[in-house]
Structure 1
Amino acid sequence: MGWLQSLISPLKKLWFQMHSTHKKRRGIYILYEDVKSCPYEDVHVLWSILVESHSSSLPLKK
Structure 2
Amino acid sequence: NGNTTRQTVKELIARLNAENPSLYSHLAAGMREGALGELWPASKTRKEMEHTYRAFMANT
TM-score normalised by length of structure 2: 0.29
Q: Which structure carries more relative contact order (alpha carbon 8 Å, separation 6+)?
A: 1
Identify, as 1 or 2, the structure richer in helix. Answer: 1
